[in-house]
């Protein structure tokens, strides 16, 4: 029975901040996943070019470096709960209103500038989610976080219908307004249900009398700690690979499908539906059976599947709906293995006492390396819209090597222990 599914049992027994974070996540995940497949074609429809779209992605990533660097000290000094609420409102509610009335490049640039602040709340919310939570629940919890966004699958065909009826631009404007309402409600409810974590209270007390930039200065020692920890470095490499490939896919997949493969924009909703339903089935039927398996081997399978999905995408002829669907399904089965287990690996390889600052510095490292790739992928797409996905194939190969070396480093640590 569905009520005896391990994921459902975990959901029912969640308490505290984990419960507050997971239960409210659909209010953010559903609207985000409704509009995100259309962002690039929305920009194209308003007159932006491939290069401008890639440039906006890179500008956003560069700005995120600044906020990621400050995210750990800000989170430590003023608390996980408070910072999550304030920076969620700034980074998501306000940009949704800007994008809803966007007319040209300047509007999207302003939205990107404000949205870059999400790096702070990504750190504080992560701490709020995991710090007082049992480690053995982490895979199931992160599965539910992904599932929260996938629930959009059940209404995503409606988006395609609305685009057919009212055209792309009015529909996306409405979705952004809906996103503002739902996301803002989520931030208010989470703030009411959550409480500051134990580690958060400790760090707030330790940094109470320190200026913010004095706390930032202490990050030098934390950075040295990262450099001395091979497992964390390999994990950072995997975060970089996933960051770049997600940026490429999220920005240029819809452009490839509509411009090169000649599918109508309204059809994107059906592929988003197929992708989400496949992932939901995978999360409920396959992921619970993998909880005790080797995380690294499963991630390797996930990277292999992601590579195969990109190859299938590149082999898809113009208008071939079935091969595009196959590529989408293969990718949907691979993402839970790669992304969800990476989240677990991050939590397990990071020093719990310095989680906020380490996560902040890892984010800085990831963004610094990732930031040029929005522009690079834009230039590649300007030449041939297949080229960004050839880049993804190469990067998934690099990710597979990093998983192998991280596994060797882990075995070395276990023998030494």
The predicted model scores a pTM of 0.75
| Rg of the Cα atoms in the chain | 21
| Lowest-pLDDT choice from 84-93, 182-191, 341-350 | 341-350
Residue 149, pLDDT above cutoff 90: no
d(CA 147, CA 28): 12
Is the four-CA dihedral 219, 225, 231, 237 of positive or negative sign? positive
Mind listing the pLDDT tens digit for each residue in 350-389? Answer: 776 777 778 778 878 888 888 788 889 889 988 899 999 9
Residue 246, pLDDT above cutoff 80: yes
Cα 303 to the chain's mean position, in Å? 16
> What value does the mean pLDDT take over residues 316-335?
94
Contact 254, 268 (CB under 8 A): yes
d(CA 39, CA 117): 19
> What value does the mean pLDDT take over residues 286-295?
75
Burial of 168-180, coded b for 16+ CB within 10 Å and e otherwise, reads beebbbebbbbbb
More confident residue, 352 or 61: 61
End-to-end Cα spacing for the chain: 42
d(CA 233, CA 69): 17
Contact 376, 362 (CB under 8 A): no
Residue 346, pLDDT above cutoff 70: yes
- Number of structural domains, the chain? 1
Mind listing the pLDDT tens digit for each residue in 112-145? Answer: 999 999 999 999 999 999 888 887 787 788 888 8
In 3D space, the residue among 189, 176, 67 whose CA is nearest the CA of residue 122 turns out to be 67
Which two three-digit tokens encode residue 39? Answer: 């962002």
Burial of 369-407, coded b for 16+ CB within 10 Å and e otherwise, reads bbbebbbbbbebbeeebbbbbebbbebbeebbebbeebb
Contact 116, 63 (CB under 8 A): yes
CB proximity list for 339: less than 8 A, separation 6 or greater: 146, 242, 302
In 3D space, the residue among 327, 312, 342 whose CA is nearest the CA of residue 275 turns out to be 327
242, containing H or E segment? helix 230-255
> What value does the mean pLDDT take over residues 294-312?
89
* pLDDT at 93 (0 to 100): 98
* pLDDT at 403 (0 to 100): 83
How many CB atoms neighbour CB 285 within 10 A? 11
d(CA 398, CA 409): 17
Helices (H), 103-196: 105-115, 118-130, 138-150, 156-166, 168-193
* pLDDT at 417 (0 to 100): 55
The whole-chain average pLDDT of the chain stands at 87
Mind listing the pLDDT tens digit for each residue in 150-168? Answer: 887 777 788 888 888 899 9
d(CA 287, CA 284): 6
| Lowest-pLDDT choice from 52-56, 212-216, 398-402, 405-409 | 405-409
Check which CATH number belongs to the domain holding 31 and give it. Answer: 1.20.1250.20
* pLDDT at 194 (0 to 100): 95
d(CA 333, CA 295): 16
d(CA 71, CA 185): 23
Confidence of residue 413 (pLDDT cuts 50, 70, 90): low
| Lowest-pLDDT choice from 71-80, 190-199, 272-281 | 272-281
* pLDDT at 363 (0 to 100): 78
Which two three-digit tokens encode residue 52? Answer: 């401008």
Residue 111, pLDDT above cutoff 90: yes
Which two three-digit tokens encode residue 383? Answer: 């030449």
* pLDDT at 117 (0 to 100): 96
Share of the chain above pLDDT 90, in %: 45
d(CA 52, CA 109): 10
Containing domain of residue 170, as a range? 2-416
DSSP assignment, residue 317? P
DSSP assignment, residue 132? T
* pLDDT at 2 (0 to 100): 55
* pLDDT at 95 (0 to 100): 98
């Amino acid at each position: 029975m569905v009520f005896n599914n391990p994921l459902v049992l975990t959901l029912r027994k969640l308490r505290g901040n984990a419960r507050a974070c997971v239960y409210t996540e659909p209010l953010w995940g559903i609207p985000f996943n409704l509009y995100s497949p259309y962002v690039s074609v929305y920009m194209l429809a308003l007159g932006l070019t491939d290069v401008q779209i890639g440039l906006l992605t890179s500008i956003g990533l560069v700005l995120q470096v600044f906020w990621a660097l400050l995210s750990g000290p800000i989170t430590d000094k003023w608390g996980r709960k408070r910072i999550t609420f304030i920076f969620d409102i700034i980074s998501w509610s306000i940009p949704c209103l800007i994008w809803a009335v966007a007319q040209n490049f300047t509007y999207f640039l302003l939205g990107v500038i404000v949205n870059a602040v999400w790096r702070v709340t990504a750190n504080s919310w992560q701490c709020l989610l995991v710090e007082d939570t049992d480690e053995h629940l982490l895979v199931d919890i992160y599965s539910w976080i992904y599932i929260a966004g996938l629930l959009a699958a059940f209404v995503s065909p409606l988006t395609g219908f609305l685009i057919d009826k009212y055209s792309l631009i009015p529909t996306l404007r409405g979705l952004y307004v809906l996103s503002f309402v739902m996301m803002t409600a989520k931030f208010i409810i989470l703030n009411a249900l959550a409480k500051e974590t134990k580690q958060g209270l400790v760090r707030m007390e330790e940094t109470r009398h320190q200026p913010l930039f004095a706390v930032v200065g202490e990050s030098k020692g934390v950075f040295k700690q990262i450099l001395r920890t091979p497992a964390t470095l390999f994990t950072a490499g995997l975060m970089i690979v996933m960051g770049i490939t997600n940026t490429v896919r999220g920005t240029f997949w819809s452009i490839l499908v509509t411009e090169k493969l000649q599918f109508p924009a309204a059809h994107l909703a059906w592929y988003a539906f197929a992708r989400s339903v496949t992932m939901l089935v995978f999360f409920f039927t396959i992921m619970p059976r993998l909880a005790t398996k080797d995380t690294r081997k499963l991630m390797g399978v996930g990277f292999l599947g992601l590579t195969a999905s990109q190859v299938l995408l590149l082999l898809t002829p113009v208008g071939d709906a079935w091969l595009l669907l196959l590529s989408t399904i293969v990718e949907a089965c691979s993402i839970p293995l790669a992304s969800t287990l990476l989240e677990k690996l991050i939590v397990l390889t990071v020093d719990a006492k310095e989680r906020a600052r380490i996560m902040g510095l890892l984010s800085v490292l990831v963004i610094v390396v990732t930031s040029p790739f929005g522009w690079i992928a834009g230039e590649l797409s300007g030449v041939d819209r297949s080229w960004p996905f050839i880049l993804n194939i190469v990067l998934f190969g690099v990710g597979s090597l990093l998983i192998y070396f991280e596994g060797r480093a882990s075995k070395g640590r276990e023998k030494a222990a």
